[in-house]
Each structure stands twice: as structure tokens, then as C-alpha cells.
Amino acid sequence: MNRSSRNTVLVAGSANLDFVVRAAHVPAPGETVLGRDFATFPGGKGANQAVACARAGDAPTHMLLALGNDTYAAPLEASLRDAGVVLQIVRAAQPTGTAFICVADSAENAITVAPGANHALAPEHLSALDQVSCLLLQLETPLPTVTAFAQRARAAGVRVALNAAPAQALPRELLDVLDVLIVNEGELAEIAQVHGDIGGALARLEVPCVIVTLGARGACARVNGEFVVQPGFRVTPIDTTAAGDTFCGALVAALASEADFASALRRACAAAALACTRLGAQSSIPTHDEVDAFLTAQPAPDAAARCELALFCGVPYAD
């Protein structure tokens, strides 16, 4: 079966129940901060990205994940199913993953993750890939498992996308089978071992498509040797949790539907911007129609803004 006859995104990765407290600022080492509102939200990079694929990207989405036999698993399953994600659940002896998040009034956050069941995901858990167009991975599950999944997908002719977060060194055997690598600025520097030169770091990584997200600035990519920049959209942020995950899911869904790359990048930036205007992880992810409406209301692309972003990244730009 050729790639064009497939249309399903498979996300293989983590799911966590997020314990979120809002505070004036994120605590410094040794500091105690009195918080205000507290709530729990379904989260985890893999689960967030699956919801974004299905909701913001409107793509047929499956997810392979590991959960414990505990009460924390139920809201995660419910949130994913409500978004239309088809679940392939591995039941683990470990407790369901959790994350502890402090969200500051500036909308920035600090996150500590207890992986739990996520570390039970193993190479043998990946099922048939016959109807899958793209496999989307992250690094909150064991690196040997991520590598094995990627290698098997490449052998099956499936596009492989990796969001290399949390940052860590990537083995050559993983980089060699990636089609798309998505990182933030810090992760890019860590993996490429190039600091202070975004364009140079992008050029150093031997992956066909490397994308760096730059927060409110937008995103920059190198695609088959050519650079593409997409300035960010102006919004009033409330919580940046899951903005990067929303970007990843929306981008991969667009690519799976065979959108051109520049359009996919613009849509991913728009979805991520909207996610910043709402509290929580999966609860903040916009729908496909909301992204459409947001993009329709935006002014025409600004050549000056694109040029400014290209200069910031140290990459060539031609309107």
C-alpha cells in the first residue's frame, strides 16, 4: 500500500494526569510560593499531541500508550476518546504517569514529571502499521522503545516525526530514520551541539525536515535544504502548557493530509497560539474550525515580519 492511500496518524507516547496550580511566579530553588487555583487536567506530551492531531488537525488519530490500573487513568482515557482518538492501551503494573505544574501569572510554567506507566511502553507493543501515514513520537517514553518504533515505521514506509522533548542526546540510529524532527530552541542547541546560531544548528542536523519552535516569535524550519519561516500570531497568553504539543499535533495532521509545508507550518503556529489563551493541556487545544476561523481573521502574511524572523534565526529569506 503506498503512502498516499493512508491517512491515519499514530501517536506513540506518554500520557500523564497534570496537577496544576496557579501562582504569581514559578518558585526559585528553595523558595515556597503560595498558589491560588488548583485543578487536574489530562496531559502528557503524547496524549496532548494525539488530541491536537484529532481536534485541531481533524486527522484520523490512533494512540499507543501505557496506563496504570488506577483512578488517574480514567480521565486520560475519557479525554482522548472525547477528542476522537482510537486507543491502544498497554496496562502496566506501574501507576499512571503524573505531572506537577506551576503556572505563573506571566503564563510561563515549570513542570516535574513522574513517568510511571509510561516507562512500560516497549518495542513489542507496536502493532501493524498498514493504515498509518505518519508515526509521531516524543521522548517521555524509553529511548530504546522510541528508536525501535521509528525503525519499524521507516521499514514499513511510514513517515516518522519526532518531537525531541524532553531534550537529550539522540543516537545516530534514531536520527537516521526520522523524516521530521521538531524541537524548541533549547532542544535544538542540545541535539545539534550548536549554541547561539539557529540556522547553523538546523543545517547541522541530517534530517530531511527540522523545525524549531520559538515561542511567541513563531517557527523556523529547514526542509530539504531550504529554510521556511513563520512568524507567531499575537494573542494574550494565559497558560503556555501544551502549546508546543498543539503545534506538533496540528503540524503532523496537516502533513498527513498532504498540505504543503508552508501552510502546515502556519496552521501549527496558529493552533499553538490559540492554546496559549486557555488553561490546561488538552483542555486548551482548539478545534479545527476554531483554527480556521482564527486564520481567516488574520491579516495577510507580513514580508517584513518574515524577514525579521529570518534575521533572528540567521537564515536566508526571499519573499
- For 37-77, the pLDDT digits (tens) are 999 999 999 999 999 999 999 999 999 999 999 999 999 99
245 tagged catalytic: yes
Instruction: For residue 296, count CB atoms less than 10 angstroms from its CB and return exposed for 0-12, middle for 13-18, buried for 19 or more.
Output: exposed
**How would residue 81 be classed by pLDDT, with cut points 50, 70 and 90?**
very high
26 to each of 111, 122, 136, how far by Cα in Å? Answer: 10, 35, 31
Residue percentage of the chain with pLDDT more than 70: 97
Three-state DSSP class for 158? coil
For the cut 70, the answer to whether the pLDDT of residue 1 exceeds it is: no
Q: How far apart are CA 178 and CA 160, in angstroms?
A: 5
Antiparallel, parallel or unpaired: β 16-23 and 97-104: parallel
For residue 301, is pLDDT > 90? no
| pLDDT tens sequence across 138-189 | 999 999 999 999 999 999 999 999 999 999 999 999 999 999 999 999 999 9
Q: Is the dihedral of CA 170, 174, 179, 182 positive or negative?
A: negative
Instruction: Round to whole Å and give the CA distance between 38 and 100.
Output: 11
pTM: 0.93
Tens of pLDDT along 7-16?
899 999 999 9
Cell, residue 227: 529554510
Q: How confident is the model at residue 317 (pLDDT cuts 50, 70, 90)?
A: confident
Nearest to 20 by CA among 111, 97, 94: 111
Provide the residue ranges of all domains of the chain, joining segments of one domain with +.
3-15+44-96+124-313
- Condensed to tens digits (0 to 9), the pLDDT of residues 233-242 reads 999 999 888 9
Classify 3-15+44-96+124-313 by CATH class. alpha beta
Nearest to 230 by CA among 255, 251, 249, 208: 251
Closest of 315, 205, 206, 223 to residue 262, by C-alpha: 223
Peptide bond connecting 166 to the previous residue in cis, omega within 30 degrees of 0: yes
Percent of the chain at pLDDT exceeding 90: 88
Which backbone phi and psi does 197 adopt, to 5 degrees? -145, 90
Q: What is the mean pLDDT of the chain?
A: 94
Once rounded to an integer, what is the mean pLDDT over residues 264-282? 95
Chain Cα centroid distance, residue 203: 21
| pLDDT tier for residue 319 given thresholds of 50, 70 and 90 | low
Gyration radius (Cα) of the chain, Å: 18
CA 13 to chain centroid: 11
Catalytic-labelled residue, pool 245, 289, 302, 319: 245
5 pLDDT more than 70: no
Place of cell 487536574: 40
pLDDT of res. 4: 41
Q: Write out pLDDT tens, residues 90-107.
A: 999 999 999 999 989 988
